[in-house]
Structure 1
Amino acid sequence: MKNRVYGIEKKKAKWGWIFVFPSLIFFALFSFYPIINAAYTSFFKKNLLSLRPPKFVGFDNYKYIFSSPDFWNSFRATIIFTIGTFVPIVIISLLLATFIMSRKKFQKFFEMAFYSPAVLSSVTAAVIWLMIFEPRGLANQFINFITGSSGKDWRWLSSGGMVQLATIIVYFWKYIGYFTIIFISGLASIPQSVHEAAKIDGATSYQDFKYITLPLLKSTTVLVSIMSMLQCLKTFSTQYLFTQSGAPTEPINVITLNIYNTAIRDHSIGKASAMSIVLFLLMLILTIIQFKISKNDDVDFN
């Protein structure tokens, strides 16, 4: 009997690998190969438009970028953008999901309303907000209405601090609904009987949220945290379009934008590849840290 069960499991495993193998090939081709190729290229001095063979320079590209004020400015801009976007997205998307789940009516309407910006491309979202941030746009009109001022230009696209805030707003608006839906899925997976038992024991709504919902939602929170953090670290299109529209480059010159300019404008593929590897390692380290901090046993309701 045991041999028969073992044979069935072995056959299932074999067919599982057969179905998964094509996906692994595509994943390796479009994910692992670019990473390996970038790591290899980062040790060479290579000009994008030159027909000369690349020259091996060892760690010179890494030494250059780590001694470059431009790279450290990009690092600072990336960290500011990531923290300014990642933290509000995680907190507010959880609160929005809790609010939507507590509604007896219009749940689907709220879900569609918040999720709708996520279906737009990043370029489309950036173009929409470029018009909003114009001197005569809705952003200035709204702030002037709130503050009681009239005709004041808040310089969304010309002031360093304001252009940083503008890029954060664009990403927050685009992705808040996406992560809200993920939190809603996590909240829906919590058995209603757990909340009912807490209510019978006299727990308030706040206590139920703090001591039941948050612990049971930890795996979803980790997922949202990692996904939103990686999304912020990869940001490019908003900053690129803003700088192309005349916004100052330095405050929003994130690492991805610096990689693009180094490779396309300066034609230095080796240095751009080195920056790509540094960004990859940064993302990998931060992801591992998040997993370590939030590591715990999953709750089993069976």
Structure 2
Amino acid sequence: MAHKRRVHKGIERKKAIWGWIFVAPSLLFFSLFSFYPIANAFYTSLFKKDLLSLRPPKFVGIKQYTYLLTSPTFWNSVKATAIFTLGTFIPLVVFSLIFAAFIMSRKRFQKFFQMAYYSPAVLSSVVAAAIWLLILDPRGLANQFVNFLLNSPGVDHKWLASIGMVRFSTVLVYFWKYVGYFTIIFIAGMASVPRTLHEAARIDGANSWQAFWRITFPLIKPTTLLVSVVAMIQCLKTFSTQYLFVQSGAPRGPIDVITLNIYYTAIRDHRIGRASAMSIILFAIMLFFTWFQLKVSKSEEVSYM
């Protein structure tokens, strides 16, 4: 028995060593490109430094953070980020689930619908924003379509001018681009649910609506959590759409999200320390909401038995 235990421990030790060998490249990659930038950003946030100055940075401790917490500009960025995230996150999760259920219910053209919904996700955010700048132009398709519905020819709805419309426009662009991506993730989750469960439900007299809410939806809880976390992070770190809209003449204030404020603070104002402090705060916000969603959902592996 003692000999068997020694042999077993030896095998387990070899497995652990080989496991570390295979994991080491990934750990090195994440340490170099993820952990180090985060640590370096936190270190930089403790100094007052001009991006183009040759003077050595001045250590100021947490003064950058205390300044941001009392800065109206930063709190406006927090407000703009919150409005954009709430306006985009909820429709993304809800409609991607609805679209996935619709596609899965089709007996024909499933592949076509998947490609049609997913195609905007292939585009880069810059290209997507550029396309929508043409659509939202005063002479573009957006005004023509709305005026056709409302029978109001020639009216400019100021998609990129008024506060409410420019916020709605950024939400619209982001929703259009990413809803297909999350729809495909939901489809993958729904496809993993055994068909036998739905067949048993039909035998028991359940209709399609009851089968979805009583069987499919509870069993794709891990997929829903994944979509929620990824969609939340995507919304919080949005940048390119707001940047291109501002560069095209849209007012900055209503869509001055934290990432856009970081860009202007670092590149235009050359205050790299303050921009790093904003980056750390944004990272903390992402970390908190990710933890909160995991805590609330308490998601575990789903068993079909």
- With normalisation by structure 2, the TM-score equals 0.96
For residue 204 of structure 1, the aligned residue among 203, 207, 215 is 207
1:37-80 Cα offsets, whole Å, 9 max, x none, are 11111111000011111101111111111111000000000000
Tell me the SS of whatever aligns to 1:117. helix
Residue matched to 1:173: 176
Aligned pairs for 1:286-301 within 5 A: 286-301=289-304
Does residue 1:189 correspond to 2:215, yes or no?
A: no
1:107-155 Cα offsets, whole Å, 9 max, x none, are 1111111111111111000100000000010111111111111111000
Does residue 1:49 correspond to 2:49, yes or no?
A: no
Does residue 1:64 correspond to 2:70, yes or no?
A: no
Tell me the SS of whatever aligns to 2:18. helix
Does residue 1:264 correspond to 2:267, yes or no?
A: yes
Aligned pairs for 1:213-224 within 5 A: 213-224=216-227
For residue 134 of structure 2, the aligned residue among 111, 121, 131 is 131
Q: Structure 1 runs of 4+ off > 3 angstroms?
A: 1-10
Aligned pairs for 1:1-302 within 5 A: 1=4, 3-301=6-304
Answer whether contact 2:225 2:299 (CA < 8 A) is retained. no
Distance 2:302 2:264 in 1: 47
Distance 1:298 1:106 in 2: 31
1:144-172 Cα offsets, whole Å, 9 max, x none, are 11111111100001111101111111110
Distance 2:190 2:8 in 1: 37
Distance 2:301 2:238 in 1: 32
Answer whether contact 2:222 2:300 (CA < 8 A) is retained. no
Alpha-carbon shift at residue 7 of structure 1 (Å): 3.7
Tell me the SS of whatever aligns to 1:51. coil
Distance 1:4 1:174 in 2: 55
Distance 1:205 1:301 in 2: 19
Tell me the SS of whatever aligns to 2:302. coil
Alpha-carbon shift at residue 2 of structure 1 (Å): 5.3
Distance 1:8 1:199 in 2: 49
Return the letter of the residue paired with 2:89.
F
Q: How many residues align?
A: 302
Distance 1:49 1:36 in 2: 22
Distance 1:128 1:12 in 2: 52
Alpha-carbon shift at residue 174 of structure 1 (Å): 0.6
1:253-285 Cα offsets, whole Å, 9 max, x none, are 000000000001110011101111110000000
Return the letter of the residue paired with 2:74.
F
Answer whether contact 2:265 2:275 (CA < 8 A) is retained. yes
Distance 2:291 2:256 in 1: 26
Distance 1:5 1:120 in 2: 52
* RMSD of Structure 2 on Structure 1 (CA): 1.2
Return the letter of the residue paired with 2:72.
P
Distance 2:275 2:182 in 1: 31
Identical-residue share of aligned pairs (%): 67
Go from structure 1 to structure 2 and tell me whether the alpha carbon gap of 1:4 and 1:145 turns closer, same or farther (over 3 Å shift): farther
In the alignment, structure 1 segments of 5+ residues that lack a partner are none
Distance 2:264 2:136 in 1: 25
Alpha-carbon shift at residue 202 of structure 1 (Å): 1.3
Alpha-carbon shift at residue 207 of structure 1 (Å): 1.4
1:70-111 Cα offsets, whole Å, 9 max, x none, are 000000000000010110000000010111111111111111
- With normalisation by structure 1, the TM-score equals 0.97
Alpha-carbon shift at residue 210 of structure 1 (Å): 1.1
In the alignment, structure 2 segments of 5+ residues that lack a partner are none
